[in-house]
């Protein structure tokens, strides 16, 4: 790993390396030009600001002087960010600032830090942790935000505060160290200073928008973001400390008798593609797998707690033509590199699932190489299905069974005990060496059933709560999903139903599938199972390409996280990366060294948090309450926990009228309250997760 890669991964590194300092110096030159502008050169300053920052939304304004270690090149501003004089951005790591954020004079956002132990500190070693600031945040004069801190939406940080830990949304927080003082309440909507009320009529007049008619109606605030009411009594000393320590964290559902995966959120990586490995195995070792470390903070922020790695063992090309089950692919690095990755994920409470490719191997697999060399005299001749009197597409002078006729994928004979023993020993090696937590079984629908049963027995004995998921394209999923074989399978039926229903404006299609699979009637197929829910992966076109209207992306993920099952997100799709299967598999498996974040990612992260915290979304049954072509409302309920999922595919608002069984609900995605008194008004192209709390 280079110093630059260690820096980007949040690890200890040497900031004095020449390449790092040269890059930093170039960024500082731009900052110098910005700070030399005259007061009246507003347009010039705006152009320079957009050029300096990694991302700068419309309407941003920064008063010079601005100080930044990397000239702002690692800073992401949303829209309408205002910074008063002397803003200091120690941007050695990325700093993400939401929309309409206000910085008072001489605020410092510091991502850089040093080891406590004096020796490495004396030698100049450093590490950096990202800072995330939500929308509508106001940070008062002289405040300091320390490395790794997240501040929630609408929060106010008092002047002079030292923010050392995460601060939740919708609160006022002050002090050294900064602690939650109180929630933002209805009182703040009415008063702007002590006992002085906000005069909305005056504000409208000053804006030049007051009209003679209806002026009396302007005495109250126009439409505003709803902030959930919180009782002042909740913020005693004990709760203040708890609120600070829990900010940004997930309070996972814990329910007796339910294994960890039923409330988990999965994230799929295709390492050979994501890490930029060449398609053909060139035999050149490079530690590309360490690029996964760039994703750890991203996964935490997304509220992911399990990563599924597509094949990463030595193979001929794409990973599914294995050469060596005991060795990480040379193009990705070494076993020691992957141990480092697994340790980093486990440290953050993220479990690791590997791809178990047991149906077939590559032509470079040691046993098949021996067969090609020694033919009938090979000790491995019975490891495969071979006819030495035939031939194949490679003109080897022998015929062998390949996966679905593909001769680059040599089918294993899983009825041969020696083959099964070898594969079981390999899985045991993965558990002992890497500490993996489960397997996704490639083409599990083709794998010998007795092999699956043995795999379930042995992995359960080797590691408690070891997870087995099988790839199923069609048919009855219970053929391999049962108490003797796989715990779960891939839900391809609903994957197709989600995008097809959305594109055709026919929600009956997906709701019918969900009722067929998870409805409350005794005949429904999978009421007692947790299938893997997804909209794309390494084998199919990405959802951002498949959907005809990109505004419906949150709705697609609303089904993934709202329906019964285990939600899984494919790397890059959380910010809308596209990829068309028609252009070949590599177009679905593109290199992405560093993750990105946008509004779609915000929505998915909120859904992931909701899924992990809500018993209803993790374990609940499924019931359709309202269904039309472009609108639906369904209920998830587990014991006393209820969540209503509402969908509107139209451009404008739509009001759903039905028996909600409650007066109102809080949207777990936006934290806004919705009243059901006159029906439920669902905004256009949106999905709501309404938690019934009263």
- Per residue in 527-554, pLDDT (tens digit) is 989 999 999 999 999 999 999 999 999 9
State percent of the chain over pLDDT 90: 82
In this structure, what DSSP letter does residue 103 have? E
Q: What is the pLDDT of residue 158?
A: 95
Is 80 exceeded by the pLDDT of residue 223?
Answer: no
Question: pLDDT-derived band of residue 247, with 50, 70 and 90 as boundaries?
Answer: very low
Q: What is the pLDDT of residue 254?
A: 64
Spatial CB neighbours of 267, under 8 Å, sequence gap ≥ 6: 299, 302, 304, 306, 307, 308, 568, 569, 571
CA 164 and chain centroid, separation:
25
Q: What is the pLDDT of residue 219?
A: 44
In this structure, what DSSP letter does residue 420 have? H
Is 60 exceeded by the pLDDT of residue 153?
Answer: yes
On whether the 3-185+227-246 domain is CATH 2.160.10.10, my answer is: yes
Q: What is the pLDDT of residue 249?
A: 62
Q: What is the pLDDT of residue 231?
A: 38
Element (H, E) at 314: strand 313-315
Closest listed residue to residue 447, CA positions, set 383, 494, 403? 403
| Mean pLDDT for all residues in the chain | 92
Residue 638 three-state SS: strand
On whether the 621-691 domain is CATH 2.60.40.1180, my answer is: yes
Spatial CB neighbours of 233, under 8 Å, sequence gap ≥ 6: none
Predicted confidence (pLDDT) per residue in 336-385, tens digit? 999 999 999 999 999 999 999 999 999 999 999 999 999 999 999 999 99
Per DSSP (E only), the strands in 430-586 are 438-441, 467-470, 488-489, 532-533, 566-570
Catalytic residue among 50, 114, 258, 346: 114
Please tell me which residue, 106 or 26, carries the higher pLDDT value: 106
Which region among 2-6, 160-164, 301-305 has the lowest average model confidence (pLDDT)? 2-6
Please tell me which residue, 617 or 11, carries the higher pLDDT value: 617
CB 440 within 8 A of CB 355: yes
Element (H, E) at 670: none
Q: What is the pLDDT of residue 193?
A: 83
CB 60 within 8 A of CB 49: yes
Q: What is the pLDDT of residue 281?
A: 97
Most confidently modeled range among 35-44, 178-187, 288-297: 288-297
Predicted confidence (pLDDT) per residue in 647-669, tens digit? 999 999 999 999 999 999 999 99
Helix, strand, coil percentages, rounded to 5, for the chain: 35, 25, 45
Distance CA 200, CA 19 (A): 55
CB 642 within 8 A of CB 692: yes
Q: For this structure, is 538 an active site residue?
A: no
State the Cα angle at 19 between 18 and 21, rounded to 5°.
65
Q: What is the pLDDT of residue 196?
A: 86
Q: What is the pLDDT of residue 203?
A: 81
CA 15 and chain centroid, separation:
30
Spatial CB neighbours of 398, under 8 Å, sequence gap ≥ 6: 371, 372, 375, 386, 387, 388, 389, 390, 391, 392
Q: What is the pLDDT of residue 545?
A: 98
**Does residue 355 come out as left (phi exceeding 0), alpha (psi in the -120 to 50 range) or beta?**
beta
Q: What is the pLDDT of residue 242?
A: 38
Question: pLDDT-derived band of residue 199, with 50, 70 and 90 as boundaries?
Answer: confident
Domain with CATH 2.60.40.1180 in the chain: 621-691
Domain with CATH 2.160.10.10 in the chain: 3-185+227-246
Average pLDDT, stretch 421-443? Answer: 98
List 604's β-bridge partners, or say none: none
pTM beyond cutoff 0.85: no
Average pLDDT, stretch 197-216? Answer: 67
């Amino acid at each position: 790993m280079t110093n630059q890669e260690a820096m980007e991964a949040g690890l200890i590194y040497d900031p004095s390396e020449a390449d790092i300092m040269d890059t930093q110096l170039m960024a500082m030159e731009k900052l110098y030009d910005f700070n030399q502008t005259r007061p009246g050169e507003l347009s010039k300053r705006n152009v320079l600001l957009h050029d300096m920052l990694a991302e700068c939304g419309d309407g941003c304004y920064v008063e010079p002087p601005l100080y930044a270690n990397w000239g702002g090149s690692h800073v992401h501003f949303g829209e309408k960010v205002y910074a008063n004089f002397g803003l200091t951005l120690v941007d050695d790591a990325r700093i993400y600032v939401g929309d309409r954020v206000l910085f008072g004079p001489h605020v410092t956002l510091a991502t850089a830090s040093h080891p406590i132990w004096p020796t490495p500190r004396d030698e100049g070693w450093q590490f950096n942790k990202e800072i995330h600031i939500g929308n509508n945040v106001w940070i008062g004069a002289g405040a300091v935000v320390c490395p790794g801190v997240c501040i929630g939406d609408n929060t106010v940080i008092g002047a002079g505060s030292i923010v050392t830990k995460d601060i939740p949304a919708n609160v006022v927080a002050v002090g050294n160290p900064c602690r939650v003082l109180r929630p933002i309440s209805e009182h703040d909507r009415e008063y702007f200073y002590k006992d002085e009320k906000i005069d909305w009529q005056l504000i409208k007049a000053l804006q030049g928008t007051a009209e003679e008619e209806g002026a009396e109606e302007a005495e109250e605030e126009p439409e505003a973001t709803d902030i959930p009411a919180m009782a002042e009594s909740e913020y005693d000393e004990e709760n203040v400390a708890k609120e600070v320590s829990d900010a940004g964290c997930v309070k996972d559902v814990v329910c007796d008798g339910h294994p960890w995966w039923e409330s988990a959120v999965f994230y799929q990586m295709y390492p050979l593609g994501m890490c930029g490995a060449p398609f053909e195995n060139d035999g050149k070792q490079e530690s590309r797998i360490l690029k996964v470390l760039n994703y750890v903070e991203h996964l935490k922020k997304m509220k992911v707690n399990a990563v599924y790695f597509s094949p990463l063992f030595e193979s001929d090309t794409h990973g599914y033509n294995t050469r060596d089950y005991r060795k990480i692919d040379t193009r990705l690095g070494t076993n020691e590199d992957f141990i480092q990755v697994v340790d980093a994920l486990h440290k953050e409470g993220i479990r690791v699932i590997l791809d178990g490719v047991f149906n077939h191997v590559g032509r470079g697999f040691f046993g098949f190489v021996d067969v090609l060399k020694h033919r009938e005299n090979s000790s491995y001749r019975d490891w495969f299905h071979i006819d030495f009197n035939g031939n194949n597409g490679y003109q080897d002078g022998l015929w062998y069974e390949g996966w679905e006729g593909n001769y680059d994928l040599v089918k294993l004979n899983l009825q041969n005990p020696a083959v099964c023993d070898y594969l079981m020993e390999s899985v045991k090696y993965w558990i002992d060496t890497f500490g993996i937590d489960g397997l996704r079984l490639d083409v599990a629908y083709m794998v010998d059933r007795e092999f699956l049963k043995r795999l379930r027995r042995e992995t359960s004995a080797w590691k408690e709560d070891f997870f087995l998921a099988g790839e199923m394209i069609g048919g009855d999923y219970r053929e391999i999903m049962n108490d003797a074989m796989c715990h779960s399978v891939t839900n391809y039926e609903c994957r197709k139903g989600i995008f097809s229903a959305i594109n055709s404006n026919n929600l009956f299609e997906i709701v019918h599938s969900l009722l067929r699979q998870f409805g409350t009637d005794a005949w429904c197929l999978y009421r007692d199972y947790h299938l893997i829910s997804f909209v794309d992966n390494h084998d199919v076109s990405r959802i951002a390409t498949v959907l005809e209207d990109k505004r419906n992306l949150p709705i697609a993920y609303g089904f993934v996280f709202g329906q019964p099952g285990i939600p899984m997100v494919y790397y890059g799709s959380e910010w809308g990366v596209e990829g068309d299967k028609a252009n070949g598999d590599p177009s679905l498996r593109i290199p992405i060294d560093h993750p990105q974040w946008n509004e779609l990612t915000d929505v998915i992260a909120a859904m992931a948090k909701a899924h992990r915290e809500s018993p209803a979304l993790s374990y609940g049954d499924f019931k359709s309450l309202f269904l039309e072509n472009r609108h639906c409302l369904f209920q998830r309920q587990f014991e006393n926990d209820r969540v209503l999922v509402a969908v509107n595919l139209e451009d404008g608002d739509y009001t759903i009228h039905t028996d909600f069984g409650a007066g109102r609900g809080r949207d777990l995605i936006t934290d806004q309250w919705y009243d059901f008194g006159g029906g439920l008004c669902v905004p256009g192209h949106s999905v709501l997760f309404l938690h019934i709390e009263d």
